[in-house]
Amino acid sequence: MGRLAPWAKYRKEWEEIRDERKKGGSILERKTSSSSSSPSSGDSITNLIPDPSSPPEVEQRYKWMPQLLSASLGLSRVRFYSEQGRCPLFRLPVELRLAIWEYAVGGGEITVVRKVDKLAHVVLPRDQERLDAAYAAGRASWQPVGSERRVRADQVLADVNLLAMLQSCKRLYIEALPVLYGCNAFEFRTMESFHRFLARAPAAGLRAVRSVRVAWNGFGYWQYYERRVPEAEMELDLELDESWREICGAVLAMRGLRDLSLRSWRAFDLRPHQRTTTRAEMVRRILAPLDGLPEQVNLSFTVQSGDDVYNYTR
């Protein structure tokens, strides 16, 4: 079990983001490769429903094996698409179904949490007790240094799994996906979870997101990471600017976004030779990659240290 100092913990997050970018490619590359199979939020629900006459899908146990060989060995199965025409729920008008989906999975404030190998979601304050217990269990067991804010993969965090309904059938997934992402506010408490969310969420879901809040004290150490201190010359470059520009580029592509809020409960930690830099200059430097946000997006950045509060709004 290892607990890091705050400046080292947030640096560890930037290292994880850098390594994730090198291993899995940029966010843009991932979205481009999956865009052909993702529905567009600009299309009507009627147009998004798959054609029941479309060819069946062949699922192979081993992707590397030729399809004919896989079928002859019984290692593949054929799945036919069903438009659920007999289901009374899908006989309702589209507008009524969308209202049902919104009632079931919308109207909440979702906090995205990093697990050991994936992301999870909680709705606070409803799931606060479960989340606190998960963090306490993680601190009580052995984990790699810097992972004290991660949750075990088998830990159940949410009282209600919002993804369960979408996983019931393909047609419901296509209809309810924009509702799940567009009718909830999303909050992130680590930059690592925000990056993974942008990289791994469906492109159609990201285009539907309307409200994002990043409450992360790592903003306070921004200038500390921009310039490496002499004793750290042998360390690998964090690629802070490249990672942040990539994150901001993904945010700019969220066409439905209407509210973006950044917040830090720590004042900027400026190096001694940079004390002349003001908070306003640091905020402008951090927000520079977001200059392309449309006018309809409400952008705010709050830096608070005790009773001292600096608030930027656009």
Segment 157-204, tens digit of pLDDT = 888 899 999 988 888 998 999 999 999 999 999 999 999 999 999 999
Would you say residue 62 lies in a domain?
Answer: no
pLDDT at position 87 is 84
Would you say residue 24 lies in a domain?
Answer: yes
Lowest mean pLDDT among 27-36, 81-90, 191-200: 27-36
pLDDT at position 269 is 67
Q: With beta carbons less than 8 A apart as the criterion, state whether 148 and 120 touch.
A: no
- For 256, the domain range is 6-39+92-313
Predicted structure pTM score: 0.80
Would you say residue 154 lies in a domain?
Answer: yes
Would you say residue 245 lies in a domain?
Answer: yes
pLDDT above 90 as % of the chain = 38
Q: How much helix, strand and coil, in percent to the nearest 5, is found in the chain? A: 45, 15, 40
Would you say residue 152 lies in a domain?
Answer: yes
Would you say residue 80 lies in a domain?
Answer: no
Cβ neighbour number for residue 280 with a 10 Å cutoff: 11
Distance (Å, whole) CA 228 – CA 224 = 7
Would you say residue 68 lies in a domain?
Answer: no
Within the chain, residue ranges assigned H as helices are 6-24, 27-34, 45-48, 67-72, 94-105, 128-140, 170-182, 191-200, 203-208, 222-226, 240-252, 279-287
For the chain, what's the residue count?
314
* pLDDT tens per residue across span 232-283: 444 567 888 899 999 999 999 999 999 999 999 887 765 555 555 678 888 9
Task: Please tell me the total count of domains within the chain.
Answer: 1
Would you say residue 64 lies in a domain?
Answer: no
